[in-house]
């Protein structure tokens, strides 16, 4: 527990220290966010706010993790997965912001990179002597061995989680706040299950998200961009995989799931019927267009994430 607290504190302090250093650099380089014309009108004033702030999160997690990483392969693989997804997001942001191509990487290019990373961690976990192909079933003490189905399911979970977190990052403090709650859950659960290295890694995510909120909460001084949201998605996914808790992702990551499903339903509905289910997707924009202030949407989603975290704790028998 002492190391977990220390990991949180170190990551938090690093974020608080480097944030005021990196943000002016992003401003000077004119790495400003472009706002979609079809988006909520209230977001127009955010145009030009520095993006790619995920560099702050990744730096804090990387430095804090390195301090505790010696001799812990699980922590190292989680960190590398996070870094890998962060690099995909960084390239995407660079193309959007610097090369002025608003769509960034093409979908198939993103997916190729994501699938490569997902395959690596799936194979690593499947061949790990203390992980293997068994998954913990929520609300039971039982594990289910998926055998040959393990790798495709894990790949789907990793890629799906990364993209869902990416979709959630649309309001000031939304993705960072929700992920703070999700990573806190994994920090405590990993500790209870005996995955001490992963508990420390989750702690670095907690500290980084908490520190980043100082700069990212409304009105945001910096956005994490795909650099941050993809990295956080990779971090959450790796924690689930390495603790054998992929089946918990729809519960603890319920906010991410709802956001992703809202996009899927919106697209399907429009293509099949020509009508939209929501005023705009992802779901957080729907509530904005219904008249909710941005901070109200964020706080409500945080509360939902907290409730889901409590439910997820109840789904375990270790507490």
Reference 267, options 277, 257, 258; nearest CA is 277
Burial of 239 (0-12, 13-18, 19+ CB in 10 A): buried
Contacts of residue 107, defined as CB under 8 A and 6 or more positions apart, other chains included, come to none
**DSSP state for residue 3 in the 8-state scheme:** H
Chain centre distance of CA 160? 11
How far is residue 63's CA from residue 196's CA, in Å, rounded to a whole number? 18
Q: Which helix (H) or strand (E) holds 144?
A: strand 143-145
What is the distance in angstroms between the CA of the first residue and the CA of the last residue of the chain? 15
List of long-range contacts for 155-158, beta carbons under 8 Å, 24+ apart: 155/115, 155/118, 155/119, 155/122, 157/237, 157/240, 157/241, 157/246, 157/249, 158/81, 158/114, 158/117, 158/118, 158/121, 158/122, 158/234, 158/237, 158/238, 158/241
Is residue 192 within 8 A of residue 319, CB to CB? The reply is yes
Is 166 marked as binding a ligand?
Answer: yes
The tally of CA atoms less than 13 A away on the side-chain side of residue 159 is 20
Selection from 283, 231, 301 nearest residue 53 by Cα? 231
Would you say 11 and 204 are in contact if contact means Cβ atoms under 8 Å apart?
A: yes
Is 74 annotated as ligand-binding? no
Neighbours of 126 (CB within 10 A): 18
Alpha-carbon separation of residue 1 from 62, 116, 196, 220 (angstroms): 20, 34, 9, 32
Q: Which residues are annotated as a binding site?
A: 166, 226
Q: Which residues are annotated as a binding site for Mg(2+)?
A: 166, 226
């Amino acid at each position: 527990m002492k190391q977990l607290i220390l990991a949180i504190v170190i990551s938090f302090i690093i974020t608080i220290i480097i944030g005021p250093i990196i943000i002016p650099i992003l401003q000077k380089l004119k790495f400003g966010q472009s706002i979609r014309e079809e988006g909520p009108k209230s977001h127009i004033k955010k145009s030009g706010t520095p993006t790619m702030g995920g560099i702050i999160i990744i730096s804090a997690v990387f430095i804090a993790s390195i301090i505790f990483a010696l001799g812990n392969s699980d922590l190292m693989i989680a960190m590398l997965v996070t870094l890998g997804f962060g690099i995909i997001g960084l390239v995407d942001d660079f193309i959007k912001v610097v090369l002025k191509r608003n769509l960034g990487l093409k979908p198939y290019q993103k997916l190729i990179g994501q699938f490569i990373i997902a395959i690596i961690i799936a194979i690593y976990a499947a061949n790990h002597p203390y992980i293997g192909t068994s998954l913990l079933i929520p609300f039971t003490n039982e594990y289910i061995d998926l055998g040959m189905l393990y790798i495709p399911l894990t790949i789907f979970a990793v890629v799906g989680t990364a993209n869902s977190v990416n979709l959630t990052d649309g309001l000031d403090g939304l993705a960072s706040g929700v992920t703070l709650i999700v990573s806190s859950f994994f920090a405590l659960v990993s500790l209870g299950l005996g995955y001490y290295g992963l508990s420390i890694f989750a702690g670095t995510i907690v500290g980084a998200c908490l520190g980043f909120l100082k700069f990212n909460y409304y009105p945001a001084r910096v956005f994490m961009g795909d650099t941050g949201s993809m990295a956080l998605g990779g971090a959450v996914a790796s924690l689930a995989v390495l603790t054998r808790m992929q089946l918990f992702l729809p519960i603890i990551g319920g906010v991410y799931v709802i956001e992703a499903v809202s996009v899927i339903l919106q697209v399907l509905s429009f293509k099949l019927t020509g009508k939209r289910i929501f005023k705009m997707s992802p779901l957080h924009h729907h509530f904005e267009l219904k008249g909710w202030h941005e901070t109200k949407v964020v706080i409500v989603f945080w509360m939902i994430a907290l409730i889901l975290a409590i439910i997820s704790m109840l789904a375990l028998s270790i507490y």
